[in-house]
Structure 1
Amino acid sequence: MADCECAQRGHDKAKRNDLRTVGLAMMVTPGFSIPLIHETYPGNRPDSKQFLTMMGNLKKRIRKISGKDVTITVVFDRGNNSKDNFDYLIDGEDMPFHYVGGLKKNQCETLFAVDKSQFTPLEGDGLEGQSTFRMSGFEAYGQKATAIVVDNPKLREGQLQGVMRDMANASNRLEELRKRLIARAEGDIRKGKAPTVESVTDSAKGMLSKEFMASVFWFKVTSRKGTVNGKEKGFPLLEFGTNTSILNGIIDRDLGKTVLFTDRGDLSDGKIVTSYRNAWYVEHGFRQMKDTSHLSVRPMFHWKDERIKVHIFNCVLAFRLCSLLRLELDKKGIQASTDVILDEMEKIKTVDTFFGNPDKPTKVQTFSKGSDMAEKIIGIYNLKEIYKVR
């Protein structure tokens, strides 16, 4: 692997640190996730650095196709945020791009604190029950642009489930620690290293390391005097509980909110929100290519950069063709995912039937019976005529 630059040890989201990682960057269309450009890069390169390379390639591609500079709005997630990236996007000397991105909470605490009475309801498909607060001239990454705070009750509900799950886990762990300390103080546990106030405090803090837990829970470590082998000794004990008012404040202030950042102040709040959420199509593309059923990039039995890049090129090409197939079928009234289409078509088999004289039989080829959707696809593309079957 010494001569391979693509496959590198890096941060693996699947926690497969035993494997080398190959980076894949893709730019896709909204709607059907049709790949426009892609690039293979070393797996230890941060996304924010690869972003500049992709934007440069996109500008070259646009100029080559259109012969001129055009107005483009790029949508990307928070993982690509950096001052260099924003500076490059708005560079007026090199075909500036508009952008719609997101901000992390620690970059816009004041926006999370805005009272809900100042929010305006959103209108449009998929935006029911949601509201926004807009602030012009908000500064981040050296840029002054429009910030949109989106309040989404469904997102809050999902996040609250996670918070409650973390609270239950933390409470169980703290209770187990409390019982162990009592057992040691009463002499039921004698083996092992004796805990101290400091060690118990550190353990409790570690149990509350998940987001919001240190704020929601309170704990107190006290010391009870006792005697061990005739010697007086202090035994640490633990008390803990939750603060309901703080939890309610977190639910109201922090949960269910997303902050977007864009230089397209001319767009409506609803358009900005839907544009940002269209980045989901990129994630859909990556999930499709990680799926081991169809179009799978993995496993990759190659050890040289050239072969790795050709392998990924073939996978992206297959994904592009399937995305275009979905687009065509959608226009014909067939709405289905790539996996469903391929699964249904895979069930169609070619059947050879022989008639007449056994020495010189007549062979007739037919397709096996497929689902209603598969039969429609066969008719749309005249597959029986192409493959000369009945």
Structure 2
Amino acid sequence: MGSVVGKRINGRTYYYFVESARVDGRPRIVAQRYLGSAEEIAAAVDGGGGMPESTRQLTFGDSAAVWGTLERLQVAPAIDEIVGRRKVSVGRYLALAVLQRAVAPCATLADWWAETAAERFIRPRFAAETVRDEQFWQVTRRLTRTQLERIEEEVVSHIRLDAPVTLAVDIPNFATYAESDTADAALAGLSAVVTRDGAIPLVSHVYQRGVPFGVAASRLAARHRGEVTVVFDAGQQAQLDLDAGRHFVGALPLADFPELLVRPASVRRPVDPDRFAGLTALDTHATVSGVRRRVVLTHSARLHAAQVRGFAQALSTATRQLDGLALALEAGTNRRTREQLLTELARITRVRWVDRVLTARLTGGKPGELRLEYRIDEAARARLDEELFGKQLLVTDHDDWSVLDVITAYRARYHLDSTFRMFHGSFVAAPAPRWDWTEQRIAVHSLVSTLAAAVTHLMRQEADRAGLDLSVRELLEQLSRIGETVLRYPSTGGRPRTRRVLTSLSGSQRQLFELFNLEAYAP
């Protein structure tokens, strides 16, 4: 049963629509909805209250999904259990920093807080004036390296993983720390133990660049207390002893194995059309550093197309520069010596793959007589397309792994590196003008970044298992498009009315909305 009732507050009457029902045999109000003052109701009836006075757009989906995952993992309570009870919760501030690092890495805490709906659903509430970078660094200034390591291990232990295969990966360009755009930079690398499926970081260690990867891998394995497989890039092979007893998956320089490059495409087999569309592989053996080892030659149609485009652009740039130089020589405007011109020609043509197909020849001896000729070797260009583009060569001692497992392990490093590049950009500015990047602050910042990567990679894995093949970047971008619109209606003498609604959802956004239970955080 419904009726309209008025309530007298501070000399004014406000009206509510109330619904009544019998509870335990007695009439009770079970629901009520505010209608407004008499003036507001009259304005609405006349059509004057239908249009909002202003609107405001807030980010919702990405913040709600990441915060929901942080709550599910009990990140804040786990951190507070380690650091102890304090006047201000260290766990809540670290969890907030992880959220901001994941969804708005280029913004300050204060700027992001002003544009997100997170202030509505994060409980207990943060006062707006406390959500600032300076406050975060004050709260975390006493955290020791031992505490930071324990925090990482405790948070990761809440991620339910069924006996995962783990990998040791190295990100030598993890972050470049600087006090300002012009200050001397501190270059940092990061080694981590991650899961093969999902590349979820479990243990990490930040270091000054220059530490050999083999040393970092040994330290990580000792902390992880479990068997790990070392994953290395083509340039890191020299830092590792492949006969040291560790399992490994790594890349080899293609040019060192010409006999494999000329094998016809017909010998390669599709790897997994669902997970890796257009990827084929040849599982074979080759002599690597004097030892017969298992190698996997892969060819990606997507990588092939990208390399063809990049090569065409590089070749076009080189020929355009050569044309300009040739015209200058013919016009007699050149004043450089033959040696200087040869140096310039080497610079123009010494580009990856361009030097294989482009040859330039300088004729004449005196400056006024010098002429330039160049040619493109189409046969060499065809060999590039057939033998090199789209290919990678991997080596491993895992004879028990499938080709899919080997490729997944190798790509884990690139997934993690891509996520960190998204978090940091070209360099990490100082947290505040009067503070510099001490070892302790770099360690705190690295922990926040690593936890953000762990949470977002876990979310990506959950989306993948739900049938949504998205990278971390694509996942967060889809979620960020689920916005919250705040509609503010004009006052007609009573209290201003505010209504919050979510933007419309696409099909994939609806799936993500349900997967991450965003209804629990919706207005």
Query: Please, which runs of 5 or more residues in structure 1 have no aligned partner?
Result: 1-9, 64-68, 91-95, 226-232, 385-389
In structure 2, C-alpha distance between the alignment counterparts of 1:143 and 1:178, rounded to whole Å: 50
Q: Which amino acid aligns with 1:39?
A: H
Partners of 1:181 and 1:236 within 8 A in 2: yes
Partners of 2:199 and 2:412 within 8 A in 1: no
Classify the secondary structure of the residue corresponding to 2:210: coil
In structure 2, C-alpha distance between the alignment counterparts of 1:303 and 1:13, rounded to whole Å: 12
Residue of structure 2 aligned with 1:171, choices 311, 314, 319: 319
The superposition leaves residues 12-38 of structure 1 with CA deviations (integer Å, 9 ceiling, x where unpaired) of 999x88641342423333554432112
For residue 260 of structure 1, report the CA deviation from its aligned partner.
0.5
For residue 208 of structure 1, report the CA deviation from its aligned partner.
0.7
Matched, 1:53 2:223: no
Residue of structure 1 aligned with 2:337, choices 173, 195, 205: 195
Look up the match of 1:250.
384
The superposition leaves residues 174-193 of structure 1 with CA deviations (integer Å, 9 ceiling, x where unpaired) of 11111111111xxxx3xx74
Look up the match of 1:75.
231
Partners of 2:231 and 2:249 within 8 A in 1: yes
Matched, 1:337 2:475: yes
Look up the match of 2:359.
218
For residue 291 of structure 1, report the CA deviation from its aligned partner.
5.8
Look up the match of 2:393.
259
Look up the match of 2:41.
none
Residue of structure 1 aligned with 2:194, choices 28, 35, 57: 28
Q: In the superposition, relative to structure 1, how do residues 322 and 193 fare at CA in structure 2: closer, same or farther (>3 Å)?
A: closer
Look up the match of 1:277.
411
In structure 2, C-alpha distance between the alignment counterparts of 1:217 and 1:330, rounded to whole Å: 44
Q: Which amino acid aligns with 1:27?
A: V
Q: Which amino acid aligns with 1:111?
A: L
Look up the match of 1:102.
251
**Range that drifts further, 314-323 or 249-258:** 314-323
In structure 2, C-alpha distance between the alignment counterparts of 1:146 and 1:369, rounded to whole Å: 57
In structure 2, C-alpha distance between the alignment counterparts of 1:330 and 1:321, rounded to whole Å: 14
In structure 2, C-alpha distance between the alignment counterparts of 1:199 and 1:167, rounded to whole Å: 22
Q: Which amino acid aligns with 2:501?
A: K
Matched, 1:120 2:285: no
Matched, 1:239 2:373: yes
In structure 2, C-alpha distance between the alignment counterparts of 1:267 and 1:205, rounded to whole Å: 45
Q: In the superposition, relative to structure 1, how do residues 210 and 22 fare at CA in structure 2: closer, same or farther (>3 Å)?
A: closer
Q: Which amino acid aligns with 1:170?
A: A
Look up the match of 1:4.
none
Partners of 2:173 and 2:189 within 8 A in 1: no
Q: In the superposition, relative to structure 1, how do residues 276 and 367 fare at CA in structure 2: closer, same or farther (>3 Å)?
A: farther
Matched, 1:159 2:307: yes
The superposition leaves residues 56-113 of structure 1 with CA deviations (integer Å, 9 ceiling, x where unpaired) of 323432x3xxxxx55x43433334322535344x2xxxxx4x221111234334432x
Q: Which amino acid aligns with 2:217?
A: M
Q: In the superposition, relative to structure 1, how do residues 215 and 318 fare at CA in structure 2: closer, same or farther (>3 Å)?
A: closer
Query: Please, which runs of 5 or more residues in structure 2 have no aligned partner?
Result: 1-171
TM-score normalised per structure 2: 0.53
Look up the match of 1:228.
none
Q: In the superposition, relative to structure 1, how do residues 20 and 117 fare at CA in structure 2: closer, same or farther (>3 Å)?
A: closer
Q: Which amino acid aligns with 2:323?
A: E
For residue 170 of structure 1, report the CA deviation from its aligned partner.
1.2
Q: In the superposition, relative to structure 1, how do residues 248 and 234 fare at CA in structure 2: closer, same or farther (>3 Å)?
A: same
Q: Which amino acid aligns with 2:248?
A: Y
In structure 1, C-alpha distance between the alignment counterparts of 2:326 and 2:174, rounded to whole Å: 36
Partners of 1:323 and 1:338 within 8 A in 2: no
Partners of 1:37 and 1:58 within 8 A in 2: no
For residue 209 of structure 1, report the CA deviation from its aligned partner.
0.8
For residue 328 of structure 1, report the CA deviation from its aligned partner.
5.8
Look up the match of 1:368.
500
Equivalences, count: 333
Q: Which amino acid aligns with 1:35?
A: P
For residue 163 of structure 1, report the CA deviation from its aligned partner.
1.6
Classify the secondary structure of the residue corresponding to 1:86: coil
TM-score normalised per structure 1: 0.68
In structure 1, C-alpha distance between the alignment counterparts of 2:217 and 2:291, rounded to whole Å: 21
In structure 2, C-alpha distance between the alignment counterparts of 1:257 and 1:313, rounded to whole Å: 35
The superposition leaves residues 314-355 of structure 1 with CA deviations (integer Å, 9 ceiling, x where unpaired) of 33334434444555677788887235436647x47799xx9x
Q: In the superposition, relative to structure 1, how do residues 288 and 33 fare at CA in structure 2: closer, same or farther (>3 Å)?
A: farther
Classify the secondary structure of the residue corresponding to 1:303: coil
For residue 251 of structure 1, report the CA deviation from its aligned partner.
1.9
The superposition leaves residues 153-206 of structure 1 with CA deviations (integer Å, 9 ceiling, x where unpaired) of 33222212222212111111111111111111xxxx3xx74533x433332222
- For the aligned residue pairs, the C-alpha RMSD in angstroms reads 4.2
Q: In the superposition, relative to structure 1, how do residues 138 and 13 fare at CA in structure 2: closer, same or farther (>3 Å)?
A: farther
In structure 1, C-alpha distance between the alignment counterparts of 2:184 and 2:254, rounded to whole Å: 33
Q: In the superposition, relative to structure 1, how do residues 332 and 12 fare at CA in structure 2: closer, same or farther (>3 Å)?
A: closer
Residue of structure 1 aligned with 2:346, choices 196, 205, 208: 205
Look up the match of 2:446.
312
Q: In the superposition, relative to structure 1, how do residues 145 and 289 fare at CA in structure 2: closer, same or farther (>3 Å)?
A: same
